[in-house]
Amino acid sequence: MTKLTYQFEQKRIDNVQWSHGAKLSGMTALANDEKGRVRKSPLFYLETVSINNYEDDVYFVNNTDDTLSFVAPFRLCRNIGEARAKLGDVSAENVEKAKLYSDDIEYLYTDVLPKQAVRIGSTHVIYDSDALMQWFIDVPYKGIDTKGIDTHYGIWRFNVVEKGGIGGSYPLLWEDFSKPSHVVSSEYVTERNEMPIEPLLYDERCSMLEQFIEQYGVADAIFILAINDVLYRYCVGWSAPYNESDIQAKDIARKLTAQKPKDAEAVKPIIQAVYDFWFGKGFAKNLSMQACEEILCLYQAQIANQKAV
């Protein structure tokens, strides 16, 4: 049987101008937002572009004055678990899952310019008319944290669900960082424990995984990579590039296996000892207990799966 594959086609449109709500999508959105809010401008919004009488392309529009390092129209993951990868599973399918974004990377846009629109999908007037259409969109941008303090960097995570898709302009976030009522969720992530692995690291991370597999085999390679994810997300020791904490991840994996910690308190000195050896005493003195707890969970899952085999 021939296996059919679908190749997503990326498209960009420059100099897209906000229509000030003239084509605001959805009756609910119009009723809730036309009094005052329609006169605002969104930082980000979706826009439909007609292909023919039956099909519309859906675009994400960067309505800010800043270039976005990436636009990911798919769910970003904090760890391999969120990608449904498992420690101890040496199958080729699991290796692909451990890469996090192997099924979605073709949808990733980088360096999205101000007032530029990028195609994230399409809808069909007939085939999709009764379907619930959903889009997950993650974008790095500034914002206001839970304490009301301006931040320079975070990840905005949008969840859009509409029956039959959208028609016209569909604001995702207003210029005052408030959420339009029609958007299912608009979450701003700044805390290290909630920060996902950026898709810009995909190639670098895949390369590291391949090197680990050659050196240690699949099972240990995924374990070391998962540890490195935690070190990177929590900026353990220093804010190093992703591929510059691989030696520490290897050492931590080896010491965990040798010392068999029972709790996060026992994990902390193991990690600190590794960083003390490589960078000097006290280099990881501010190590987060949350990071230790995540690494403990990885170790416990690794041991459990080894026993199962």
- Asked if 215 contacts 170 with a C-beta cutoff of 8 angstroms, the reply is no
pLDDT above 60: residue 25: no
Q: What pLDDT sits at residue 26? A: 47
Q: What tokens does 217 get?
A: 């085999």
Rounded Cα gap, residues 60 and 153, in angstroms: 20
- 169 and 218 housed in the same domain: no
Among the candidates 143, 160, 194, a domain finishes at: 194
186 forms bridges with which residues in the sheet?
Answer: 158
pTM: 0.88
Among the candidates 173, 194, 215, a domain finishes at: 194
Find tokens 């084509």 and name the residue: 23
Q: What pLDDT sits at residue 144? A: 76
pLDDT above 90: residue 32: no
- Residue 60 domain-assigned? yes
Interacting residues of 18 by C-beta distance below 8 A, sequence separation 6+:
41, 42, 45, 61, 63, 169
- Residue 95 domain-assigned? no
Structural domain total, the chain:
2
Q: What pLDDT sits at residue 146? A: 65
Domain range for residue 50? 12-72+108-194
- 190 and 266 housed in the same domain: no
pLDDT digits (tens, 9 = 90+) for 204-231: 999 999 999 999 999 999 999 999 999 9
Report the chain's mean pLDDT, rounded to a whole number.
89
pLDDT digits (tens, 9 = 90+) for 239-274: 678 988 999 999 999 999 999 999 999 999 999 999
- 155 and 248 housed in the same domain: no
- 227 and 289 housed in the same domain: yes
- 168 and 57 housed in the same domain: yes
Among the candidates 154, 178, 194, a domain finishes at: 194
Instruction: Tell me the three state secondary structure of residue 216.
Output: helix
- 118 and 252 housed in the same domain: no
- 131 and 271 housed in the same domain: no
Q: What tokens does 31 get?
A: 């009723």
- 278 and 296 housed in the same domain: yes
- 188 and 48 housed in the same domain: yes
- 190 and 275 housed in the same domain: no
Residues 174, 180, 120, 68, Cα dihedral to 10°: 20
- 236 and 253 housed in the same domain: yes
- Residue 123 domain-assigned? yes
Q: What pLDDT sits at residue 3? A: 41
- Residue 102 domain-assigned? no
Minimal CA–CA distance to 47: which of 10, 19, 73?
19
Q: What pLDDT sits at residue 23? A: 55
Confidence of residue 38 (pLDDT cuts 50, 70, 90): low
Count the neighbouring beta carbons within 10 Å of the beta carbon of residue 27: 9
Q: What tokens does 291 get?
A: 């990071």
- Residue 6 domain-assigned? no
pLDDT digits (tens, 9 = 90+) for 74-125: 999 999 999 999 999 999 999 999 999 999 999 999 999 999 999 999 888 8
Instruction: Tell me the three state secondary structure of residue 53.
Output: coil
pLDDT digits (tens, 9 = 90+) for 275-305: 999 999 999 988 999 999 999 999 999 999 8
Please report how the helices 246-259 and 218-233 are oriented relative to each other, as an axis angle in degrees rounded to 10.
110
Q: What pLDDT sits at residue 238? A: 73
